[in-house]
Amino acid sequence: MANLHFHYGVMSSSKSAALIINAYNFTKNGNKTEVIKPSFDTRFSNQQIVSRVGMKWPAMAMPNLDTYTPSADTKILLVDEVQFFKPSDIDKLVQIADTQGKIVMCYGLMVDSNQDIFPASRRLIEVGAKLHRMESNCQIPGCMKLATHHLRFDSAGNVIRSGDQFALGDSNYKSVCRCHYNQIYNNTGKTR
């Protein structure tokens, strides 16, 4: 069985909810589980993973994993918003999985709103993490295609095509299928 996993999907594909459900089940079954999130993520709570559907689970917020060592009796390590960590943090997770025998399950986004892969997500692929795509539908009304991309908007509803991709929250984002992404991103029209 693989001991390094990457559960990825677009915003609103229930990644954090799945992490919380897994944390609950592992803990209930007597498997010591540690949950980590980047300290950059302060949207809902500094010390919790919070799903948009209302579920919560305690977490350790860390700026990086440079000095992190899981407890000896920890069996499973769950990492939320993994795309906000550095590639060197992924290497640390690999070391934990390979030398300590822990199961490491990461959850996050694969690509940003400009179709560029996040560095930490790229590193997870490079080191051979088992990939699990979490599916969701396009958020354009009436479209039932698989959402694979994100569009980011300014307050006036215009598509943002440049700038910092380490932005929190989803109020200025829309998860869309590839067709709608290409149609909207490559034009200057508003969709909000």
Helix, strand, coil tally for the chain in percent (to 5): 25, 25, 50
The pLDDT score that the predictor gives to residue 155 is 82
How many other CB atoms are found less than 10 A from the CB of residue 134? 14
Quote the mean pLDDT of the chain.
Answer: 90
Query: Could you give phi then psi for residue 120, rounded to 5 degrees?
Result: -65, -40
Determine the pLDDT at residue 89. 98
Token code pair at residue 39: 């300290």
pLDDT tens digits along 67-105 = 999 999 999 999 999 999 999 999 999 999 999 999 999
Above 80 in pLDDT, residue 163? no
Residue type, 164: D
Q: In the CATH scheme, what is the homologous superfamily, with its name and number, of domain 4-133?
A: P-loop containing nucleotide triphosphate hydrolases (3.40.50.300)
pTM of the model: 0.90
How many other C-beta atoms are found inside a 10 Å radius of the C-beta of residue 127? 16
Closest CA to 16 of 123, 112, 102, 106: 106
pLDDT at 192: 46
Separation in Å, CA 169 to CA 93, 144, 147, 158, 172: 25, 23, 18, 17, 7
3-state secondary structure at position 37: strand
156 has pLDDT over 60: yes
Contact, 74 vs 100, CB < 8 A? no
**At 85, which amino acid appears?**
F
In which band, very low, low, confident or very high, does the pLDDT at 42 lie, cut at 50, 70 and 90? low
The alpha-helical segments, DSSP class H, found in the chain are 15-28, 87-100, 119-126, 178-185
Spell out the domain ranges in the chain.
4-133
Q: Which residue has the higher pLDDT, 160 or 59?
A: 59
- Asked if residue 170 has pLDDT above 70, the reply is no
